[in-house]
Structure 1
Amino acid sequence: MQSSKGRFLWVLMLAMSLTATTLAQSPRASSDGRIIPPLPPDRTTSRSAPREIPAALRIEPPPADDAPQLRPPSRTPGEKRAEVLPDKLRATPLPQRPAETRSSEKHNELAANPTPSVTVEVITPTNAAVGQPATFEIVVRNAGSRSVDRVTVIHDLPENLQFIGTSPEAQENDKRLSWKIAKLEAGEEKRIKVKVKANDDGEFDLRASASITVSGASTARFIKPKLPKLAVKMTGPDTVLMGEEVAFEIQITNTGPVRVKRIVLRDKLPSGLTHPQGREIEAEIGGLKPGESRTLTLRTIAAKSGTFANEIHATAQIDEKQADEIDLAGGIANTSIEATATATVHVGEPALSVKQAGPKQCQQRAEAIFSIEVNNSGSARTKNVRVVDQLPRNMEFIAASDDGRYDATSHAIVWSLGALDFGTQRMLTVKARGRSVGEGVNRIHAEAEGDLNAQSDLPVRVEGAPSLSLEILPLNDPAPIRKDVEYEIRVFNEGSQPCTNLHVGITLPDGMFLRDAQAPSPYKLDENQVVFAPYSKLGTRADLVYRIKVQCKTPGDAKLRVQLTCDQLQRPVIREEKSRFLQP
């Protein structure tokens, strides 16, 4: 009973407080008919006045049937509280609006139209149950008389509310939800539905805010400035030879809308080019009207091989009066204009070399082949290459490759090869024959444009061909058995070359034995072989004589065999002599 009376007194005091607040905040009429605005609330003295929470959502469990007070249901000692809370809760609205709770906040409200004015209102449901989804609305209105662009709506969820979803879809960042409205016409409103769920009973403060972008507009006219402009073009040869002239053609053009004056060209030549004025060249060529061009030639000399980039730099000026006439904000800070151009040239240095390969000895009447290699090891093409092979006088020409022409008067072969690119070579061949014994030189001479020369000499000795004759002369044939018989063996060098290390060997037939021998070198007897020591050298048109004395034991024909070798013979010379021995 006491508790019921206490509740009644609390409700009565609350109603009186609300009535007093309403009267204080309501407008009233004065004695002269003027409307007196409501008094502002006294925040320092009115402690019992209820706190105004925008769209406060109070979620409580429903009261019990026998006790309509606001408290959770009772439970017996030791009873565990259920994990699932009551599925139906009542959302108690604020006293000022029994049906539903509404709160509005105005953002970016300006003093007068057509200043844009945007309001935000949060509408919560009358009833919401713990653990069940609840939907509230955020209403964004344009209360102004003009449209607004790029409206941003932000809502921060309380900690104990679980976010489920929104329509339209929101951008979620932790507990902050945001929406973008591209354009909101005057008087138009947008509604945003937010679905949440409370996991415990209580009261939650739901707030939303909106921000807009206010912009101004004007018309600006942009004019393309007519700036002065200078263009430079430089051309030159791609490749030259060292020592040749390198001419650069320079074309300068006024491509701007105003006249330029005091045009100055400056060129700092690279290290591979030279000029009579030195490496730094400067020339003033006057002025140019709009669209006018002028062409000049810069002549230099290639002094070093390599690749070089030559850069020309041009400067010019315009009158300050003309500069003032150019319609630009702030004017022109500098009345000087510049332009550059670059040309690259490769300075090549041609080279010419020649070498040959062939026999240093050649036998008389034998053939010899000479190989000639002509090479350009430089960095540029070698032009008008000419090669001459001067044959030795004791050799005669047979043939030449690559259209080589033989001149009988000069006893030489001549080739005209034309140009030879750098890094390339040509191979030539000559076939000749030894004509007479003696010493000679095969001389190759190569020459090309640019005073290029190269030479190669190869000494050649023509040796005579060896030619040995061998004769066996029986001095008494036929002869009786067991009587001395003499043989004379003669070696004659009828060739054009001396013979060295001559070996003479005699083979006696069966029944014949040696009695004596006379020779230019010692001998030894090995069974039926008579071997003479080597004779060191036999000159041309010279001969050797070997005499032996033999006896034969048996009658009949006997065949004596002689063999001759020397360093110059590839095969031995063999002769045989048959003699008859008689029975006395």
Structure 2
Amino acid sequence: MFNTEAEYVIVVRNAGNVAVQHVRVEDELPAGCRYVSSNPPAELNGDRLVWALGALEANSDKRLAVRVRPTEEGELRSRATVTFSATVDAKTKVTRPRVAVAVTCPEVARAGEEPVFKIKVTNSGTGPAQQMVLQALLSDGLDFRNQGARLETKLANLPAGETRTVELPLNALKAGLQSCQVTVTADGSPEATAKASVNVVEPMLQVAQAGPVKCLVRAEPSYEITLSNPGTATTDPVTVHAVLPDGFDFLQASEGGAFNPATRAVTWKLQPLAAGGTKLVGLKLRAGAAGDVMLRTVAIAAPEAQPNGIAPVGGIPARAGRGLEAKAETAIKAEGVAALRFEVAGLENPVEVGKEAVYEIRVVNQGTGACTNVQVMAALADGTTYSGSNGPTAGKATGQTLVFEPIPSLAVKGETVYRVRVRGNAAGEQRFRVQLTCDQVRNAVVKEECTRFYKE
């Protein structure tokens, strides 16, 4: 009503779910009115009322009451403006991976085996390890599928607080302390490095044999075969084969050696040979023929084959190591002994003067070795004259001496025959004297045959 106080209320409401700050309300007084008062009190700035309300919590409101006195007739209009600032909290968690690596492996492995290196990668950080790369640096005594000394592979992401194990089987190539150094990298994590070493041991096998390098036929030489392991590990079971030379016969063997006539080999089945250990076996032969021959021995160390996968006694399967082989040879010269026997016989006795007497000279090699340059010579009695001869070589008579060309070689059990014809010139007992020599019998062997020549 004209000139009568009126009141209007401004309601400021925060319908949101977060508090607002710096709430400021400005109200433009209606035209034709005079400001009387407000609750809470406002700051009058010309025809505007200003309230600085500060913060207004979520889901709350604020009531502003304004009293005015109209000074003119008409419609009263109030126009309020509210300004504020809202704060929104956003939380971002910053994480970081922290990768650690550890490597373990067997303490000892044999050359030829594949010791497994277990690589344990752990992420003790607060975030996942991403873009992980594993690098392995191998010493020259280890190998992985012929890929060289440096290996590299990518690993799948590893969540925080988790551990992953990678198994790396490596081939042990040679004896000694062999190492594998592993480095793992990941985005945002320091580089992690670890190293493990395996002592690679390796058995070795050597064979040597000792015994006569010369012997006579029918002699019984003995040979000693020595096995040794100068390596750093025990060998697998050892099998030894000694092949008899041609012309030699088997007599006996020590340590249970068995002779196989079909292969002419003596075989020993021996226990594994410890590192630094030796083993001796013996072999006795008989020389049956002369010649230059070779006694050959081969030793093999290899895991025993188990039928149907049955483990050996004790339940421990044979390890898949390297097979070992060693060989030895001994050259043997078997020499025969020359033993010539010869006979001289007159085929007719007595013989009439003027007629021929025939003498047969039979030479036999009853020794164990060939005879070389076998030569027959005959001395004729003064009362006889050389008429002719035949035999394996030609003969030449000079006066009362008859010399035959040498026989180059007369084999064992070889035999040859000469026949000499002489004419008797005077009656009486006439002696036909023969001597035999060869390279092996330097002192001449002499025999005589007596023939009686008569006259009618």
Structure 1-normalised TM-score? 0.41
Relative contact order (C-alpha < 8 Å, sep 6+): which is higher?
2
Higher strand proportion (structure 1 or 2): 2
Higher helix proportion (structure 1 or 2): 1
